[in-house]
Structure 1
Amino acid sequence: MAPIASTADLRLSGLSAREILRHCTPAGPWQQLLPGVVLQKPSPPTRLDRLRAVQFFAGPDSVITGADALSRQGARLALPRHIHVLTGKDVRRAHPSILCERTIRPPAIVEHQGLRLAGPARAALDMARRETNPRAVVGILDAVLDARLCSPNDLHEELQRCSRRGTALVRQALRHLHPAEGSLPAG
Structure 2
Amino acid sequence: MAPIATTADLRKSGFSSREILHHCTPAGSWQRLLPGVVLTSPSPPTRLDRLRAVLSFAGPSSMITGADALVRQGATLPLPRHIHVLAGSNARRAHPWILLERTTRPPVVVERHGLRLAAPARAALDLARRETNPRAVVEILDAVVAARLCSPGELREELGVSSRRGTALVRQALLHLCPA
TM-score range, shorter chain: over 0.9
Counterpart for residue 139 of structure 1: 139
Pairs aligned (count): 180
SS in structure 2 at match of 1:107: coil
Name the TM-score, length of structure 2 as normaliser.
0.98
Counterpart for residue 32 of structure 1: 32
Within 5 Å, give how 1:57-72 maps onto structure 2. 57-72=57-72
1:14 aligned onto 2:14: yes
How far 1:93 sits from its partner (Å)?
1.9
Paired with 1:177 and 1:154, the residues of 2 have a C-alpha distance of 12
Q: Can you list the C-alpha shifts for 1:69-95, whole angstroms capped at 9, x where unaligned?
A: 000000000000000000001223211
Tell me which amino acid in the other structure corresponds to 1:57. Answer: F
1:99 aligned onto 2:124: no
Question: 5+ unaligned residues in a row in structure 1: which ranges?
Answer: none
Paired with 1:98 and 1:29, the residues of 2 have a C-alpha distance of 24
User: Hey, which bits of structure 1, 4+ residues long, moved more than 3 A?
Assistant: none
How far 1:52 sits from its partner (Å)?
0.1
Paired with 1:154 and 1:136, the residues of 2 have a C-alpha distance of 19
Counterpart for residue 152 of structure 1: 152
Q: Which moved more, 1:78-87 or 1:13-22?
A: 13-22
Paired with 1:69 and 1:177, the residues of 2 have a C-alpha distance of 21
Counterpart for residue 3 of structure 1: 3
How far 1:176 sits from its partner (Å)?
2.2
How far 1:178 sits from its partner (Å)?
1.1
Counterpart for residue 45 of structure 1: 45
How far 1:5 sits from its partner (Å)?
0.2
Within 5 Å, give how 1:106-121 maps onto structure 2. 106-121=106-121
RMSD over aligned Cα atoms: 0.7
Tell me which amino acid in the other structure corresponds to 2:62. Answer: S
Tell me which amino acid in the other structure corresponds to 1:47. Answer: R
Question: 5+ unaligned residues in a row in structure 2: which ranges?
Answer: none
Paired with 1:111 and 1:125, the residues of 2 have a C-alpha distance of 19
SS in structure 2 at match of 1:38: strand
Paired with 2:37 and 2:11, the residues of 1 have a C-alpha distance of 12
Q: Which moved more, 1:42-51 or 1:86-95?
A: 86-95
Q: Which moved more, 1:116-125 or 1:86-95?
A: 86-95
Q: Which moved more, 1:68-77 or 1:85-94?
A: 85-94
Counterpart for residue 164 of structure 1: 164
Q: Can you list the C-alpha shifts for 1:97-119, whole angstroms capped at 9, x where unaligned?
A: 10000000000110011100000
Paired with 1:60 and 1:21, the residues of 2 have a C-alpha distance of 24
